[in-house]
């Protein structure tokens, strides 16, 4: 079974997806880690960021493995190496070109085959897993997301004003909605969860409730299909 959780930056997708996966006994697929892994690999190879053909060739040959919440590139565990500011600042070179996204999308589908997965991103329910059993679109107002991000940064010893965060976030939202492939949008059959004013625990419980309803409906449909055969 595949459960997708999409939404804008700062909506809390990763933390909620991890907690939901843990509660259900599913695996969590960190799609962002996959883009980071390929970005890190490109940096190690010294490929120029404007050499699109070489970037596509590298993404095509890269062997990505997601196992036990760890990411492997060509059998090397690089789970820590991909979390640097340098990798973060260059992800767009791999996330934007449609031909590269096609290759990484294919790897995401391969990894999810035959597994119970909770996956998060911005296009999981629209492009990557359009036939997912349950689709959630997690969102909140820009101001709410900026305040959450400010608190998260403060916990890590970084100080930024809400205004600074909001400006950067609004630009990111605009870019995400304008992407030619994998743009940010809710799938037509996704359940939209507006989380303004909700605590992380409240969001988790609401998403779990919705997911369990999806699981029950899916099981009922399967049973009905078996009866009519």
**pLDDT tens digits, one per residue of 61-101:** 999 999 888 999 999 999 999 988 899 889 889 988 899 99
State yes or no: pLDDT of 178 exceeds 90. Answer: no
Range from 27-36, 182-191, 211-220 carrying the lowest mean pLDDT: 211-220
- Is 10 labeled as ligand-binding? yes
State yes or no: pLDDT of 225 exceeds 70. Answer: no
Local structure of 129: helix, strand or coil: coil
Q: What pLDDT is attached to residue 74?
A: 94
Q: Comparing 1-26+117-217 with 30-115, is the CATH topology the same?
A: yes
- Is 218 labeled as ligand-binding? no
Q: Which CATH number fits domain 30-115: 3.40.50.2300, 3.40.50.300, 3.40.50.410, 3.40.1640.10?
A: 3.40.50.300
CATH architecture, domain defined by 1-26+117-217: 3-Layer(aba) Sandwich (3.40)
Domain ranges of the chain: 1-26+117-217, 30-115
State yes or no: pLDDT of 105 exceeds 70. Answer: yes
pLDDT confidence tier of residue 177, bands split at 50, 70 and 90: confident
State yes or no: pLDDT of 132 exceeds 90. Answer: yes
- Is 8 labeled as ligand-binding? yes
- Is 135 labeled as ligand-binding? no
- Is 7 labeled as ligand-binding? yes
- Is 14 labeled as ligand-binding? yes
- Is 114 labeled as ligand-binding? no
Closest CA to 120 of 4, 34, 33: 4
């Amino acid at each position: 079974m595949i459960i997708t959780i999409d939404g804008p930056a700062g909506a809390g997708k990763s933390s909620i997806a991890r907690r939901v996966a843990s509660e259900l006994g599913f695996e969590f697929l960190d799609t962002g880690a996959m883009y980071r892994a390929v970005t890190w690999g490109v940096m190690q190879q010294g490929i120029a960021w404007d050499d699109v053909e070489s970037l596509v060739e590298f993404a095509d040959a890269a062997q990505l493995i997601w196992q036990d919440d760890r990411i492997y590139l060509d059998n090397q565990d690089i789970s820590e190496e991909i979390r640097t500011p340098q990798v973060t600042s260059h992800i767009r070179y791999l996330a934007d070109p449609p031909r590269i996204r096609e290759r990484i999308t294919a790897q995401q589908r391969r990894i999810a085959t035959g597994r119970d997965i909770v996956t998060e991103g911005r296009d999981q329910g629209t492009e990557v897993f359009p036939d997912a059993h349950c689709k959630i679109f997690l969102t909140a107002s820009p101001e709410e997301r900026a305040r959450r991000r400010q608190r998260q940064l403060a916990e890590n010893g970084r100080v930024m004003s809400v205004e600074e965060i909001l400006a950067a976030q609004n630009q990111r939202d605009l870019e995400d909605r304008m992407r030619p492939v994998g743009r940010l949008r809710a799938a037509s059959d996704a359940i939209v969860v507006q989380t303004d004013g909700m605590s992380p625990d409240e969001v988790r419980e609401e998403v779990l409730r919705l997911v369990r309803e999806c699981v029950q409906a899916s099981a009922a449909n399967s049973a009905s299909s078996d009866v009519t055969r």
